[in-house]
Amino acid sequence: MTGNSIILAVDRNQRNLQLLAQFLNKEGYHTIAADSFEEFARAIGEPARIGMALVDISGFDPRIWDCCEQLRNHQIPFLILSPRQSAAIGRESLSRGARSMLVKPLIVRDLLSIVHSLLGEPA
């Protein structure tokens, strides 16, 4: 747990975004939520240092991959959340710079383990 790490949570579904932010806040992380491309652009343009991003690709059009490229260009590690297991999504995720991919429904233990790893924290 950390009090300094900011996690950018990107999700088209407001309820899922709210639940993810609540969970991460409870774990001691500060979150910035984005449910649109515009909010995403504002978030990565902020001076606050984002430690990592969680990007749920559900409901977004293919421009979401451009957002992933922007994360990579800003050297922000990120994790893709996918609605289904797919080799094509896995390849696209890795080619755009994702460090890992999780398939929904999320297993809390796995999510936290990856978050700790991406933020360079002990598990």
- Domain coordinates of the chain in residue numbers? 6-118
Contact 12, 56 (CB under 8 A): yes
How far is Cα 21 from Cα 40, in angstroms, rounded to an integer? 15
How far is Cα 92 from Cα 82, in angstroms, rounded to an integer? 12
pTM of the full structure: 0.92
**pLDDT tens digits for 12-36?**
999 999 999 999 999 999 999 999 9
pLDDT at 5: 80
How would residue 122 be classed by pLDDT, with cut points 50, 70 and 90? confident
**pLDDT tens digits for 56-80?**
999 999 999 999 999 999 999 999 9
Domain at 6-118, CATH homologous superfamily: Response regulator (3.40.50.2300)
How would residue 4 be classed by pLDDT, with cut points 50, 70 and 90? low
Contact 103, 79 (CB under 8 A): no
- Report the residue count for the chain: 123
